[in-house]
């Protein structure tokens, strides 16, 4: 550890007057030195607490005003507010669970200790021994006998009332955002509740949680541009995964029957209110099931997550109330498009008809696109934006679904669905294609598209085909964007509100 002598840094040492940031830091650093000079440690190693603040409120929240108890407690947290009335100091202590007032009286603590309390700054961490009481006005408080500094904050907190509002600062300094913005803390509690709820639901259904490689030889399982990295010892490029799918289905071949993973995936694409380059995907695969089974599981997962995170299945989207517990509509993509254009649309139609339909509705297309791709583009342009309530859009054209099984009733379509909520895609699932011969043909189509210049197209994954050749049972598979579910339940419009440290450009200079 390097300890610098403050005298070597006159910029910081000689600015204890004034009140700029540098002066404020210098003043607090001087206080630290003062404590050490007299033998006190401003950064002690540990503190034993008897209760969290939430536990205190739960147990004593109903005390009558003006009650003094004999109950000795030890609590710890950060000083958020201080109200100094002379010989009596009120402070607001915050821990993860709650905020509770400290009642610190000079007559109780003694003169010397009280002087130290006066020296505490907003932002300091303290451990407090005292008794539970309520004030005359009924505020639940800890009457402190000792207030021990646990960690001295050198940098001042943001505005005590307004908190942090500048989004740039909030996302860059998430630590400060979490300290002062209750809303930010709540969003991440919801996210946690969603993730743990998914795990509980899936464990109860007999799914095994697996961990599969992040570094891939081929970035398969989705259409997206990958990040490339390099392994020095093997001297080869590797791709960060863009999906979990292909490894999971290898495990189904291996006989694991029910697997899931909640993992980070990476897509080298634009950043927006709905996209972060790294995000969290839950994928699951269930042997002997098909798309209907995984649609049912989807409803159950999200509905249960709402119960666990919010205590209700009622949610509001764009001012409209919906109950997640009601069955979600299931409707074919071709039916959406047919409805939007006023006549029957299907990828089997002559390509010229579909192209003129695209032109008619202002949808630009490329000549290499087939009818299936055109139908999807029409759906995205004309229908996607109108879907508000949770909905399964089903029957994606085979052309755009290289890993999905063809619909048992329609060879142009697949047994595939996407979940849409508030115009956003929440997830995707299908009856898995398990015929190795057909899978090879689909891969070869992908490879042809890639060779023709489609940067997001896949290629032939020979190892995956070898796995299929051993035989994959009929399987239903599902992928859900966990960040999007968290957004839905937290009621926020930006994915950055549910990702602790979203991807940002580097800061020019930190002061």
Three-class secondary structure of residue 244 per DSSP = coil
Kind and range of the H or E run holding 421? strand 416-421
Does 88 interact with RNA (rule: CB under 7 A)?
Answer: yes
Residue 182 and residue 158 in contact, taking contact as beta carbons nearer than 8 Å: no
CB of 233 to RNA, least distance (A): 32
- Angstrom CA distances, 431 to 29, 99, 116, 435, stand at 63, 50, 67, 12
CB closer to RNA, 4 vs 19: 19
Looking at residues 53 to 82 of the shown chain, list those that interact with RNA (rule: CB under 7 A). Answer: 81-82
Nearer to RNA, 400 or 486 (CB): 400
| 3-state class percentages of the chain: helix first, strand second, coil last, to nearest 5 | 35, 25, 40
Q: Quick count: other Cβ atoms within 10 Å of Cβ 39?
A: 6
273 belongs to the binding site for RNA (CB under 7 A): yes
Q: Does 444 bind RNA (CB under 7 A)?
A: no
Contact 345, 329 (CB under 8 A): no
**Token pair belonging to 397:** 């054209």
Q: Does 402 bind RNA (CB under 7 A)?
A: yes
Answer for the pair 140, 132: CB distance below 8 angstroms, yes or no: yes
Residue whose CB is less far from RNA, 127 or 477: 477
Q: Name which position in 284, 375, 400, 499 contacts RNA (CB under 7 A).
A: 400
Radius of gyration of the chain (CA): 29
Quick check: 272 binds RNA (CB under 7 A)?
Answer: yes
- Using CB under 7 A as the binding rule, whether residue 169 contacts RNA is answered as yes
Q: Which is nearer to RNA, 171 or 328 (CB)?
A: 171
List 46, 230, 408, 505, residue binding RNA (CB under 7 A) = 505
**155/203 with CB nearer RNA:** 155
Residue 27 binds RNA (CB under 7 A): yes
Exposure of 509 in the CB half-sphere (CA atoms within 13 A): 1
- The reply to whether 390 sits near RNA by the rule CB under 7 A is no
413-432 binders of RNA (CB under 7 A): 418, 425, 428
* Total residues binding RNA (CB under 7 A): 75
**Residue 411, Cβ density class (10 Å: 0-12 exposed, 13-18 middle, ≥19 buried):** exposed
Closest CA to 494 of 267, 171, 242: 171
Residue 59 structure tokens: 């147990």
Q: How far is the CB of 307 from RNA (least distance, A)?
A: 26
- Least distance to RNA from the beta carbon of 20, Å? 3
388 binds RNA (CB under 7 A): no
Binding mask 97-136 for RNA (x = CB under 7 A): ----x-x-xxx-------------xx------------xx
């Amino acid at each position: 550890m390097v300890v610098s002598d403050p005298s070597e840094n006159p910029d910081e040492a000689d600015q204890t007057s004034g009140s700029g940031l540098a002066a404020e830091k210098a003043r607090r650093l001087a206080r630290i030195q003062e404590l050490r000079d007299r033998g006190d440690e401003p950064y002690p190693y540990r503190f034993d607490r008897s209760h969290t603040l939430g536990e205190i409120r739960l147990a004593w929240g109903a005390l009558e005003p003006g009650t003094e108890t004999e109950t000795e407690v030890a609590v710890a947290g950060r000083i958020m507010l201080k109200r100094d009335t002379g010989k009596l100091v009120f402070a607001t202590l915050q821990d993860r669970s709650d905020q509770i007032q400290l009642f610190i009286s000079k007559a109780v603590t003694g003169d010397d200790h009280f002087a130290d309390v006066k020296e505490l700054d907003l932002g300091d961490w303290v451990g407090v021994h005292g008794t539970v009481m309520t004030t005359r006005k009924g505020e639940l408080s800890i009457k402190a006998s000792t207030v021990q500094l646990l960690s001295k904050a050198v940098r001042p907190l943001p505005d005590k009332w307004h908190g942090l509002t500048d989004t740039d600062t909030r996302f860059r300094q998430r630590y400060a955002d979490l300290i002062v913005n209750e809303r930010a803390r709540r969003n991440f509690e919801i996210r946690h509740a969603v993730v743990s709820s998914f795990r509980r639901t899936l464990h109860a259904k007999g799914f095994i949680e697996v961990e599969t490689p992040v570094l891939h030889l081929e970035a398969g399982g989705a259409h997206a541009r990958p990040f490339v990295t390099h392994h020095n010892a093997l001297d080869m490029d590797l791709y960060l995964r863009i999906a979990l799918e292909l490894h999971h289905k290898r495990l189904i071949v291996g006989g694991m029957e029910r697997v899931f993973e909640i993992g980070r995936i990476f897509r080298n694409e634009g950043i927006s209110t709905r996209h972060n380059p790294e995000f969290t995907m839950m994928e699951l695969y269930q042997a002997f099931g098909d798309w209907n089974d995984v649609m049912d599981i989807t409803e159950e997962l999200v509905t249960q997550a709402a119960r666990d995170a919010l205590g209700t299945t009622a949610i509001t989207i764009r001012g409209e109330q919906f109950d997640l517990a009601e069955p979600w509509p299931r409707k074919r993509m071709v039916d959406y498009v047919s409805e939007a254009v006023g006549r029957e649309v299907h990828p089997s139609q002559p390509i010229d008809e579909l192209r003129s339909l695209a032109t008619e509705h202002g949808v630009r297309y490329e000549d290499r696109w087939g009818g299936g791709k055109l139908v999807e583009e029409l759906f995205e342009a004309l229908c996607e934006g109108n879907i508000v309530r949770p909905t399964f859009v089903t029957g994606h054209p085979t052309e755009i679904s290289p890993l999905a099984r063809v619909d048992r009733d329609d060879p142009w379509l697949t047994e595939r669905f996407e979940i849409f909520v508030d115009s956003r895609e929440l997830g995707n699932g299908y009856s898995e294609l398990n015929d190795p011969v057909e899978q090879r043909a689909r891969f070869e189509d992908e490879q042809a598209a890639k060779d023709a210049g489609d940067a997001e197209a896949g290629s032939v994954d020979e190892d995956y085909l070898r796995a299929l050749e051993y035989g994959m049972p009929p399987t239903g598979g599902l992928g859900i964007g966990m960040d999007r579910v968290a957004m839905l339940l937290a009621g926020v419009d930006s994915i950055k509100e549910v990702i602790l440290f979203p991807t940002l450009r580097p800061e020019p200079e930190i002061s």
